[in-house]
Amino acid sequence: MSSADLSPDPTLVLELLTAFRRSKIMFAATKLGVFDALEQQPRSTADLAGSLACNSDGLARLLDACVSLGLLQKDADQYRNLPAASIYLTSGSSRRLTGYVNYSNEMMWQLWAHLEDAVREGTHRWQQAFGWDGPIFSSLFKDERSKREFLIGMHGFGVISSPQVVIAHDLSRFNRLVDLGGATGHLAMAACEAYPHLQAVVADLPEVLPLAQEMIGQSQVANRIAVSACDFFRDPLPPADLYALGRIIHDWTEAKSLALLERIHQALPPGGGILIAEKLLNESKTGPEWALLQSLNMLTCTEGKERTLIEYRALLERVGFTDVQGRVTSAPLDAVLAVKPY
C-alpha cells in the first residue's frame, strides 16, 4: 500500500478552500443587480450585460456560477431567478436579505480579512479595516439609505427566526412585551401573532423608529404594537412583564451585558421574564457551526461573543434571575427564558 493510499480524503480542505468564492458570487450578483434584473422575466446574457454595464463573458461566468449554486435556472441562453433568489435577493421583496448581503460584502468581508489580527489581539477590526472611530453601529447608519437597507436585511433575518423564538417557550402568562433594540419589530409581530392577548412595544433608538412603524403598520397585529424611543443603556425602560433581547447580548462585553441585564431585572415586576434570542453554543463549544462562525464574526465586528446556555445562566443568575431555561430551534436563533423571582 502506497503512502497516497493512507492519505485522508482532501475533499474537506478543498471545499473550505473555495467556500469564500461561493459567498462572493452571491455578493457580487446581488451588488451588480442581477437578481433584480431577472425578477420580471428571463433574459439572455447579452441583454443583461447591456443593462448592467458588464462585460458579456465575465457576466456569463457569474450567471453560470449562480446556476450551479441554485440561485438561477438556465434554459439555452435565458436565465431566470429561482425562488430563493426572488424571495431573499431582490430589492422588491418584503423578506429580502439584500441589506445584510450588501453589509457582508462591503463591510464584513473587509473585517474578516483581518481575522488573524482579531485573534491575536482579541478586538474588533473596524479601525484597521476602515479607520473608523466611535460607536460601531453609528458606522452602519452613516446615511439614510445604508441604515434602511441594513435594517431591512436584519428584518428578513428576523422573519426567519422570530416565529420559532417566540414559541420555543410558553409565553402565554405574560401580558406586555417590550423588545429592547427591537429594530423593525419582527419579534414583537411574531409574538403578538402567536399570543392573541399580548401587547407589545418596540423600543429602539429614535432614528430606527420610522422604519419600525412602517413595517409594523403592514402587519395584522399593528393595533397591539407601539414604538418607544429608548437607549436601553441610559433611558428608563418602558414598563413590561416580559423584556426581549434579540441579537443584543452577543454584541457587548460581559460588563455591559451585566449592566443591561441588571437594568432589566430592576424594571421587571416579580414574576416577570426576560427572553434572549441568540444562537447557543453547545457545552463543549464545538458546535453548532453557525454559532461558532457567528462568534468569530462578533470578534471581528463587535465587543461580544456567542455563549453556551451555562454561560447565559451564569450571567442571568448573577443579577438575580432564576429558572433559566434554553430551547434550541431549527432557526438561526435559539431562545433563553429566565424569570425574576417573587
Residue with cell 435594517: 151
Say how many C-beta atoms besides its own lie within 10 A of residue 158's C-beta.
Answer: 27
Task: Please pick, among 124, 155, 186, 250, the residue that the annotation labels catalytic.
Answer: 250
State the Cα–Cα distance between residues 336 and 124, nearest whole angstrom: 26
> Which amino acid belongs to residue 15?
E
Q: Does residue 124 carry a catalytic annotation?
A: no
The CB density around residue 185, as the number of other CB atoms within 10 Å, is 34
| Contact in structure between 140 and 126 (CB atoms under 8 Å) | no
Long-range contact pairs involving 257-262 (C-beta distance under 8 Å, separation at least 24): 257/304, 257/315, 258/315, 258/318, 258/319, 259/233, 260/180, 260/232, 260/233, 261/315, 261/316, 261/318, 261/319, 261/321, 262/319
Residues annotated as catalytic (active site), given as ranges = 250
